[in-house]
Chains A and B, each alone.
Chain A
Amino acid sequence: MAHTFLLEIGLEEMPAHVVTPSIKQLVKKTEDYLKDQRIDFDAVKPFSTPRRLTIQIEGLAEKQPDVNETVKGPAKKIALDDEGNWSKAAIGFTKGQGLSTDDITFKEVKGTEYVFVEKHIAGKPVKEVLMGLKDVITSMTFPTLMKWNVYRLDFIRPIRWMVALLDDEVLPIQILDVTASNVSRGHRFLGQDTTINSADEYEEKLKEQFVIVDAQKRKDLIVKQIKEIQDENNWVININPGLLEEVNNLVEWPTAFFGKFDEKYLQLPSEVLITSMKDNQRFFYVNDQNGNILPFFISVRNGNSEYIENVIAGNEKVLTARLEDAMFFYQEDQSKDIDFYVNKLKKVSFHDKISTMFEKMQRVEKIAEVIGQHAKLTDQELKDVKRAAQIYKFDLVTGMVGEFSELQGVMGEKYALLKGENEAVATAIREHYMPISATGELPATKVGSVLSLADKFDSILTFFAAGMIPSGSNDPYALRRQANGIVRIVKNEELNFNLTEMMEAFINAEKDANVAPDLDQNKEISEIVSFIKDRIVKQLKTDKIRHDIIDAAGNSNNDNIEFIFNVADILNEHKEDDNFKESVEALTRVLRISEKQEFAADDLNVDESLFENDSEKNLHSNVESISDNFFSLSANDEYNKLFDLKDSINDYFDQTMVMAKDENVKNNHLRELTKLSNMINWFADLNQLIVK
C-alpha cells in the first residue's frame, strides 16, 4: 500500500526572498535522498509560508527493495591454510559481511581463485529511511545563516516546531531541542495549535487555522483581491511580479486593502512616489486609465478584514511621513545649484584608497573626451559629454538620494533639467549607471553611452591599480558587472578600439590634465585586458555560440572588443562552409610548426634568395600582399585573406622541407611561417576550433 508522508518545519519568520528558493531546495534534496535510498515515491509536493517549509511525499513504497549482492573476499590461497582449514582472514571477512564460512563460494578472477559470498540485504522499512531526513534538513544551505540559543547549527532562522507524519503515525525526527509531533501551529494571531491526524489533511487543517500553505494559491488569492479593488474603483494596477512574490512570502492569510494619501504629494516625481510605496512599504501603486499615478495605494495585511481601519490608518500615516520627508528634500534640494553639490563631492569618498568622487569626475571627464573623439561624436555631443562628466555624480549628495539611494541617477536627471541643463546632459546622468544588470537596458543615447563607458573604465582602472582585483566569488565592488557593461555598450555602439591603446590614452590624458590618481594605473593594464576579455567570452556564451568558436575568438592576440565579437560571428557563419575545415587545417599547421619559434616582430624578414621552390615564392608573395595593413583590417577582411591562403599553404607544405638541414634555409622558412602565424593569432586562436 502506498504511503503519504508529511514533514513541516516550523520556523521564526524567514526572509521573504528566501522562502521560495528554500522550499525548492528542500524538495530537490528530499527527492535526491529518496532516490539514493532506493525508495519509490510518486511526487514530493511543496508548501511554504514565511513560517513553514513543508513537503508532502505521495505514493511512498513500504520499504526499500531487497537486494542480493556478491562480495569479493581474499584469494583462495589466503582463505585456506595448509591443512585446508579456513584462515583468520576468511573468517574475519565473512563475519564482516554478517555471514559465516558456510556461505563461501570460489570464483576465478583473471586466473586466480577468490572467495565470494552472496549477501542478501533486506530493504529498510520506509519509516527508517524517512528518519534520515533529519540530515537532509540540517544540510540545507541559505544565503544568510544564524545560530540561536546554545546550539551550534547554522540555519536560516530558529526551528520552533516540526510535524512528521507517515500516514497517521508520528515519526519523532529530532533536531536540537525540537522533536516532531502531529501538532502544527496556526496563524500567529488568528489561529491556534492544531492536531494533524493524517498526512493528507495538512492543507485543510491549516486553512481552518488561517494559514494558506500552498504558496501559489495564496498568491492567486492576493491577485484576485487586488483585481477586485482595481475593478471597483476603475483603477489600473500593475502587479509587479517581484513585489507580489515578496508580499506573498510576508503573509499566511492575505487580505488586500487600499489607502490614500494627500494629492499634494503628486507633485513629486513619480519615481519618488513609486519608490516610497513599492520599495519602502511594499505597497502596490495605483494608476488611472491613462497611466497617471493616483493618490492611493494597495497593501496586503497578514490577517483578516477585522479592524482593518486601524491597519489602513497606520499605513497611511507611515506613507504620509515618508512623502512629507520626500517633499521637504525635493524643495530643499532645488534651493541649491548644481555647483553647490559638485563642491560637496570634494568631501565624498569614491574609495579611501583611490580618491574623492570629485576627483573621479575629473578623470572621467578626460576619459570621456578620449572615447568621445574616438566615437566621432559631434561637437555638440562632445560638449554635452564634457558637461555631463563634470557634474554627473552631484545627486549623490542631495537630500533625496541620501534618503532614497535607489533614485541615484534618476534624481540627477530631474534636478539637472530643473536647473537648466540640456536634455542630452540630463539623460546621460541617468544613463551612466546602465546597464545595471547582466541583461539590463543599455544607454539609449551616444552621450550616455560614452559617459557610462568612461565611468566604468575609471572604476576598473583605479580599483585594479589600488590592488582591489576581483578573485573567485570575491567582487565587492561589482567590477565584473562594470566590465560586462563595457563589453555590451562597446558592442552595441560598434566602437572599434584596442583596449590596451585606449587605456593608455586615458591615463595619458589624465596625466596631461593633472588629474591622474596617485596610483600606477599602467601596471595592471594587461590584467584588465584579460579581465574584460573574460566578460566577452561570458557574453558570447549567452549568445549561444559554439564553445570552441568562443575559445578561438576569445584567445586571439588582439584586444578589440568589437573585433572579437565579429570574429566569433564570422566563424559561426562559415563553420559549415565547404572549405572551412581544410582551411582551418592548413592554417593550424602553420601555427603548430611555428609555435615554438621566438622571432621578434622586427626579425621576420624573409630572404627570397634562399627559396628553393615555387611554392615558397608563391606563399611569400601571398603573405606579403596581405601583411601590409593586416592588423587594422576588419574581422571579415582578415577572415577572407587568411582562409584564401589554404591552397598556397598546402602547396608549400607539399613541396617544402621546412626543417631543412641548412640552418639559414630552415630559419628562413620559420620566419615566413611565424609572420603568418602572428596574423592568424591576431585574428583567432584557430587551434581551439574543433573541425570534423
Chain B
Amino acid sequence: MTEKLSMQDIILKLQQYWSSQGCMLMQAYDTEKGAGTMSPYTFLRAIGPEPWNAAYVEPSRRPADGRYGENPNRLYQHHQFQVIMKPSPENIQELYLDSLKELGINPEEHDIRFVEDNWENPSMGCAGVGWEIWLDGMEVTQFTYFQIVGGQEMNPVASEITYGLERLASYVQDVNNVFELEWSDGVKYGDIFKEPEYEHSKYSFEESNQEMLLKMFDDFETEAKKQIANGLVHPAYDYVLKCSHTFNLLDARGAVSVTERAGYLSRIRRMAREIAKAFIAERKKRGFPLIKDEKLRQSLLKDDENKEEK
C-alpha cells in the first residue's frame, strides 16, 4: 500500500467509484437503524420490479454491541458503506474487486476470498445468499444476493455490498484499535466517537428508562399500523424502524424476557411484511416510473392487474 487513506478518503473514493458505476449517491437515512440494509433506500427499494442502483454511508446503531469505548473492535455505532444494485449486474464481483483497488488494495498483493455466508434478518422477513469477503483473513465486506425482502420474493434480484468501514480502514491504515483510525488529517476516530461510545453504552446498559421504552414500542407499533392502513408507506416504515431501535435498546438493557423476545420480533416482522406489500402496491399505482423500458413497464402493470382479478 502506497498511501494510507483516512476514513473520509475511503468514503470519498468509494462514493466516487460507485457513482461512476451508475449508482446514485444517497445520504444516510435520518432514523436510527441497526444496518444499512434497513434504510428505505435498500429495504423498500429492493422490493418490486423497478431497477435501483444506490450507494450511501449508513451509521448503524447496535446498542448491545456497545463497550463503553473500551474494546478496540466493538462499537455501539459503526459505519457501513452500502451498495445496492438491482438487477444484480453480471460483473458485480469484478466491480467490487475494482473498488478495493481504488482503495489501494491490489488483489495480487493480498489474499482475497469469497467465503460462503448466507444472510438472514428474520425480524425484517429478509434472507439472502452470498459471501463474506476475506482480505488476508479479515472479514471486510458482506456480499448478498437478496432472495426475500419483507417476505416478498425478489424479482429481479438485487445484489447488496456492505463494507464495514471501520474494519476496512483499520486494514488500510494498519491500526489495531478502531479509536486510533484517522478520520481526516489529524483527527482521530476516537476524538470524535470515544465520548458518544461511552455515553451511549452507559445509557443503553444502565440509564435508559425502560417503562418509557416499553410504552414507546407500543405507541410506535400502533402508529405504524395506523399509517399502513392509511397507505402511508414511508411514515409507517419510519415507525417500524423506531420500533426496531427501541427493541434493541430494551434488549441491551436486558429488559426483554425470553418469552417476550420472540413476540417483539414477530410483531416487527408482521409490520415489515405488510409495508413491503403496500410499497409494491403504491409503486404500481404510480406506474412503476423507474422502469424505462415502456413495453416491460406496460406488461408488468398489466400482469399485476390480471393477478388481482384472479
> A12, A150, A307: which contacts B114 (Cβ < 8 A)?
A12
Question: Does A352 reach chain B (CB closer than 8 Å)?
Answer: yes
The reply to whether A149 and B137 contact each other, CB–CB distance below 8 Å, is no
Binds B, one of A166-174, A265-273, A317-325, A666-674: A317-325
> A146, A160, A303, A348: which contacts B111 (Cβ < 8 A)?
A303
* Given A188-B107, A307-B108, A150 contacting B116 (CB threshold 8 A): no
Interface 0/1 of A459-497, CB less than 8 Å to B = 000000000000000000000000000000000000000
Q: B93: which A residues are within 8 A, CB to CB?
A: 12
The reply to whether B87 and A314 contact each other, CB–CB distance below 8 Å, is no
* Given A12-B93, A317-B176, A147 contacting B107 (CB threshold 8 A): no
Question: Does A15 reach chain B (CB closer than 8 Å)?
Answer: yes
The reply to whether A146 and B136 contact each other, CB–CB distance below 8 Å, is no
Interface residues of B in 117-164 (CB under 8 A from A): 118, 129, 131, 135-138, 145, 147, 154-157, 159
Q: A302: which B residues are within 8 A, CB to CB?
A: 111-113
The reply to whether B154 and A15 contact each other, CB–CB distance below 8 Å, is no
> A12, A148, A250, A311: which contacts B110 (Cβ < 8 A)?
A311
The reply to whether A319 and B88 contact each other, CB–CB distance below 8 Å, is no
Binds A, one of B21-29, B52-60, B181-189, B254-262: B254-262
The reply to whether A314 and B258 contact each other, CB–CB distance below 8 Å, is no
Interface residues of A in 276-312 (CB under 8 A from B): 281, 299, 301-303, 306-307, 310-311
Complex CA gap A313/B174 in Å reads: 10
- Contacts between the two chains (Cβ within 8 Å), count: 112
CB distance from A314 to the nearest CB of B (A): 2
Complex CA gap A301/B110 in Å reads: 9
Question: Does B193 reach chain A (CB closer than 8 Å)?
Answer: no
CB distance from A262 to the nearest CB of B (A): 13
Complex CA gap A638/B273 in Å reads: 62
Q: A190: which B residues are within 8 A, CB to CB?
A: 108
Q: A15: which B residues are within 8 A, CB to CB?
A: 116
Question: Does B309 reach chain A (CB closer than 8 Å)?
Answer: no
Among residues of A, the one whose C-beta sits closest to the C-beta of B159 is: A148
The reply to whether B90 and A318 contact each other, CB–CB distance below 8 Å, is no
Among residues of A, the one whose C-beta sits closest to the C-beta of B130 is: A146
Interface residues of A in 141-160 (CB under 8 A from B): 144-150, 152, 157-158, 160
The reply to whether B111 and A301 contact each other, CB–CB distance below 8 Å, is yes
Q: A13: which B residues are within 8 A, CB to CB?
A: 113-114, 116, 131
Q: B72: which A residues are within 8 A, CB to CB?
A: 321, 324
Interface residues on B, range: 35 or more
* Given A149-B156, A301-B111, A303-B111, A314 contacting B129 (CB threshold 8 A): no
Q: A104: which B residues are within 8 A, CB to CB?
A: none
CB distance from A258 to the nearest CB of B (A): 13
> A145, A177, A188, A347: which contacts B258 (Cβ < 8 A)?
A347
Question: Does B290 reach chain A (CB closer than 8 Å)?
Answer: no
Q: A50: which B residues are within 8 A, CB to CB?
A: 114
Question: Does B43 reach chain A (CB closer than 8 Å)?
Answer: no
The reply to whether A310 and B110 contact each other, CB–CB distance below 8 Å, is yes
The reply to whether A314 and B157 contact each other, CB–CB distance below 8 Å, is no
Q: A313: which B residues are within 8 A, CB to CB?
A: 136
Question: Does A498 reach chain B (CB closer than 8 Å)?
Answer: no
* Given A147-B147, A147-B154, A315-B137, A310 contacting B109 (CB threshold 8 A): yes
Among residues of B, the one whose C-beta sits closest to the C-beta of A307 is: B109
Complex CA gap A152/B135 in Å reads: 32
CB distance from A319 to the nearest CB of B (A): 7
Complex CA gap A150/B299 in Å reads: 15
The reply to whether B137 and A307 contact each other, CB–CB distance below 8 Å, is no
Question: Does B99 reach chain A (CB closer than 8 Å)?
Answer: no
Question: Does B171 reach chain A (CB closer than 8 Å)?
Answer: yes
Interface residues of A in 36-54 (CB under 8 A from B): 50
Complex CA gap A302/B108 in Å reads: 10
> A147, A311, A347: which contacts B136 (Cβ < 8 A)?
A311
Complex CA gap A317/B72 in Å reads: 13
The reply to whether A311 and B108 contact each other, CB–CB distance below 8 Å, is no
> B73, B113, B131, B159: which contacts A321 (Cβ < 8 A)?
B73
The reply to whether A146 and B90 contact each other, CB–CB distance below 8 Å, is no
Complex CA gap A307/B107 in Å reads: 10
Q: A321: which B residues are within 8 A, CB to CB?
A: 72-73, 176
Question: Does A687 reach chain B (CB closer than 8 Å)?
Answer: no
Q: A579: which B residues are within 8 A, CB to CB?
A: none
Task: Give residues in A with beta carbon < 8 Å to B.
Answer: 12-17, 50, 144-150, 152, 157-158, 160, 177, 188-190, 250, 281, 299, 301-303, 306-307, 310-311, 313-315, 317-319, 321, 324-325, 347-349, 352, 356
15 A-B pairs whose Cβ atoms sit less than 8 Å apart in the complex: A16-B116, A146-B147, A146-B157, A147-B145, A147-B147, A147-B157, A160-B90, A306-B108, A307-B109, A307-B110, A310-B110, A314-B136, A314-B171, A352-B258, A356-B258
Ranked nearest first, the 6 interchain pairs of A and B with the lowest CB-CB distance are A314-B136, A349-B258, A15-B116, A13-B114, A315-B137, A146-B129
